[in-house]
Structures are given as structure tokens and as C-alpha cells.
Amino acid sequence: MSLSRLMLAASLLALSLPAAAQTPEETAAAALEAAPVWDGHNDVPEQLRGRYHDVLADFDFTDTSNAPSNGWSEGGMHTDLPRLRQGHVGAQFWSVYVSAGLEDNAATVEVLEQIDVTKRLIARNSDDMALATSADEVEAAMAQGKIASLMGMEGGYAISDSLGVLRQFYALGARYMTLTHSAQMSWADSATAAPQHDGLTDFGVKVVEEMNRLGMLVDLSHTSEATMNDALDVAKAPVIFSHSGARAVNGHARNVPDAVLARLKDNGGIVMVVALPNYISEELRVYDAAHAAEQARLESLWRGQPDAVAAGMAQWESENPAPKATVSDMADHIDHIRDVAGIDHIGLGGDYDGMATGPVGMEDVAGYPALFVELARRGYSQEDLEKIASRNMMRVLRAAEAYAASVADMPPIETPVD
């Protein structure tokens, strides 16, 4: 056989052999290059308020490792620009959260201040960040290599029972609102407070309908199961859970039950899986309950003797070290949501800077690649990973915008003012 024929035969043989399989690391890297992470919930604005009193003159977003204490979390912050880049975060919903315990209209004022500081943060870092209020603007920012920066309101108490205030928050750029938070509200039940309304009141239904009309995403994290179902009954656009897990994996009330997960198929919505250790590790959740029970037992046993209580707790903790949540725990939630709702209904909402730490291996925003490697090891394809990273969230926001455009002639919902 001639040399040319030998070379041709070798080439044909090479073409007939299967291509070398990608490693999990290669699959994860390719997915994150094609579709950077769109994170549903980050509490940097809350940290700016607690640590810097919303004064940005001395705040350096290129290094937050030595940020001053905020009174409840020692050490630096979880988020800065280099770590966002490390984590392949291409779009971020910044949470303009304030406490649910504020009285009268204080929450309204403080959320306005949080919107202001978030916009100032973006403007001060315009080489790396771009304000985004639409899917097109997110896409454009990503194409420029900037972190698309959206705002989400956490807690409907900030609208002060006013659809007019809701509309003004939307006009200022807020693109989702979490209906409740940890405390009970006048028109919606929270996941972690005694129910008062069995879900949404009539006014709460109007809030959901008006948010749909505007194109503002309805966020059901922090809501009770009855509130979730009431919102899904009336929603005309996909809903989101901006930072929640699967209740079948971890029984915390903040997580989403299977009956609600199953409804996302028809609604088109998304669960953005949280990284908060107590919500993802069932072992840690049970440990925390035992820790609280021991604290209560000692306080009852040694009334008025705080030193004895402290000594008893120190001994108990030395004998019962706390378990650690891991990247694998977070992946378990993604597996379960995929099995019940489907791959098209999963996103990521870390809750960084709204907790003490993320799970081992994902302690801060730089850790997202570790999760994607773990998912690739479990058999998720590059297409699956791209959906989880940001393509599912892009579809959800475009669907909400499309519904709003379809009812553009609908007048605003009006309710009487006291």
C-alpha cells in the first residue's frame, strides 16, 4: 500500500473513533464560558448599610476581605469583583432588603435608600458592572464582559399596602419582589411565622396581578406553602424562588415542597437554589434544632445563672461538633428539583452576604465552579449546566416581559387609599 493510502486509512480510522470525553472540569468550564451564572440573591446592599452606613467613600469593591464588622457577622464579606469573576457570575440580582420589623413607612424609606446605594455602587464600578432592568440589558452587559446588575426587593411590607408604591419601585428599577419575609404581613403569610390568612388576601392577589402586568417577577421565597399556591393560582407569568431549596431534601419551611415544585412545569417558573448551609444540609438543620433545645434546657435548669448556662453549652458543643454543609448537599437539591420539576426550572440564588458562610467549597461567590464540576460528575450535560447557570433565568424574565407587553393596554389596578 502506498504512503498516501496509508495516511488516508489512518485518517479515516481516527475519524471513526469516538472523541475523547470531556472531564467534569472541562464540561463545567465550557458551560460557564457559554452561560455565566445569573445569581438570584446577594445581600451586598445590606452589608453596605450595616458595615458602611451606605457611605461608599471608603468602600473598595475590589477587596472586601477586611470589611468592618456589621454587628452580626465577623470577618470580611463574601462578595467582591475579583471573586465574582472567579465564580463566573455574569448577572446578579442585588437584594435591596431591610428588616421586616420596621414600623409605619420606615421600610419604604429604607428600601429607597437601598436602591440608591445599589445604583451608586454600580456607577462607581462601571468598568465591571452595568445596571440592567430587562433581559436585553442583561444580555448586552454580559456581551460587554460586565456583571449585569439587577435589583430585587425582599419583603412586600416595603410597599406599605400600596399598589402605587409598588409601581414606583418598579419604575426605579426593582425587577422582583419577594412577597414576604420572616414576619407576618397584612396580605400574605410567611413560611416562618404563624399563618393568619391561609395564603394571600384579596389585596395580595391584586399585588401578584399588578406585578404580572408590570413585568415584575413574583418571588415566592420566604412565603408559606398556601401563599405559594395562591400566587400560582393567579400568576400569568413565571414565578421565581430567588433563594430556596427542596423541602424533600431539607425540611426547613423556607424550602419548596414537592407539590409546589410539580406546579412549576405548568407555570414555567424557577427555583434558584440557595447555598445557606442550614437550608441545604438536613443533618445541620437537625443539629441546630438540638442545639436550640439544649440551650432552652440549660436556661430553664440554671435560671438567672448565665455562667452555668454558658459552661453547659460549651461542654455540649465540644461533645457535639456541628456538621458541615457541602457542595454535594447543594447538588442534592438540584437533583431533586430536576427529578420533580425538570431541568428547565432550576437556577442559583446563593444568598451570599446574607449568611455567615456558604457550604464547604463554596464559602463565597468564587465557589460556583465547584458546584458545576460536581454536577458534571453526576452526569449533567453542558446544555443542562448552561440552563442552570443562566439560560433558565433568561427565559423566565423574557416570559414575564412578554406577558407585560401582551397586556400593555390594561390600566393599572386601582385600590382606594385610606
Per residue in 284-326, pLDDT (tens digit) is: 999 999 999 999 999 999 999 999 999 999 999 999 999 999 9
Set 222, 252, 333, 336: catalytic member: 222
3-state secondary structure 155-220: CHHHHCCCHHHHHHHHHCCEEEEECCCCCCCCCECECCCCCCCCCECHHHHHHHHHHHHHCCEEEC
For residue 348, give the H/E element and its range.
Answer: strand 346-348
Tell me, yes or no, whether 417 lies in a domain: no
pLDDT at 334 over 50: yes
Residues 160 and 294 in one domain: no
Residue 248 falls inside a structural domain: yes
Active site residue 282: no
Task: Based on the residue annotation, tell me whether 243 is a catalytic residue of this protein.
Answer: yes
Measured distance CA(168)–CA(189) in Å, rounded: 24
Is 53 an active-site residue? no
Domain shared by 176 and 310, yes or no: no
Would you state the pLDDT for residue 95? Answer: 98
In a domain, 288, yes or no: yes
- Do residues 116 and 150 both lie within one domain? yes
10 within some domain: no
**Closest listed residue to residue 172, CA positions, set 99, 128, 111:** 111
132, 187 contact by CB (below 8 A) = no
Q: Residues 222, 78: one domain?
A: yes
Active site (annotated) includes residue 41: yes
Listed residue (385, 289, 284) closest to 331, CA to CA: 385
- Taking the C-alpha atoms of residue 62 and residue 59, their distance in angstroms, rounded to an integer, is 9
- Does residue 108 sit in the same domain as residue 78? yes
Active site residue 154: yes
| Distance of alpha carbon 390 from alpha carbon 395, whole angstroms | 9
In a domain, 9, yes or no: no
Asked if the model's pLDDT at residue 186 lies above 90, the reply is yes
What value does the CA radius of gyration of the chain take, rounded to a whole number of Å?
23
Question: What pLDDT shows up at residue 10?
Answer: 46
Cβ-contact 306, 335 below 8 angstroms: no
Closest CA to 263 of 283, 234, 243, 293: 234
> Which among 298, 323, 348 is the end of a domain?
323
The pLDDT value recorded for residue 102 is 85
% of the chain at pLDDT higher than 90: 90
Last residue of a domain, one of 261, 295, 323: 323
Residue 19 above 80 pLDDT? Answer: no
Same domain, residue pair 245 and 295:
no
Domain that holds residue 293: 282-323
Residue 84 — pLDDT band, cuts 50, 70, 90? Answer: very high
Q: What share of the chain is helix, strand, coil (3-state, %, to 5)?
A: 50, 15, 40
Those residues with Cβ within 8 angstroms of residue 372's Cβ, 6 or more apart along the chain or in another chain: 28, 31, 32, 385, 388, 389
Please pick, among 46, 154, 329, 401, the residue that the annotation labels catalytic.
154
Give mean pLDDT, residues 226-254: 98
Catalytic residue among 46, 351, 353, 401: 351
Residues 168, 314: one domain? no
Task: Classify each residue of 106-131 as buried b or exposed e, where b means 16 or more C-beta atoms within 10 Å of its C-beta.
Answer: ebbebbbebbebbbebbeebeebbbb
Q: Does position 4 have pLDDT exceeding 90, yes or no?
A: no
Q: What pLDDT does 17 receive?
A: 38
Report if residue 57 sits inside a domain. Answer: yes
Whether 51 and 177 map to the same domain: the answer is yes
| Domain match, 301 and 351 both | no
Portion of the chain with pLDDT greater than 70, in percent: 94
CATH code where residue 184 lies: 3.20.20.140
Q: Do 133 and 234 belong to one domain?
A: yes
Catalytic residue among 78, 197, 243, 252: 243
- Of 78, 88, 181, 333, the catalytic one is 181
| DSSP character string of 94-142 | EE----TT--TTHHHHHHHHHHHHHHHHHHHTTTTEEE--SHHHHHHHH
In a domain, 18, yes or no: no
pLDDT of residue 14: 43
Tell me what the mean pLDDT of segment 138-152 comes to: 98
**Domain membership flag for residue 7:** no
Domain count of the fold of the chain: 2
- Mean predicted confidence (pLDDT) in 40-67: 96
Q: 74 pLDDT band (50/70/90 cuts)?
A: low
- At 286 the pLDDT is 98
Q: Which of these three, 294, 323, 352, is where a domain ends?
A: 323
Quick check: 216 and 175 in contact, CB under 8 A? yes
**Is 7 a residue whose pLDDT tops 50?**
no
Residues 233 and 376 in one domain: yes
Could you tell me if 290 and 239 lie in one domain? no
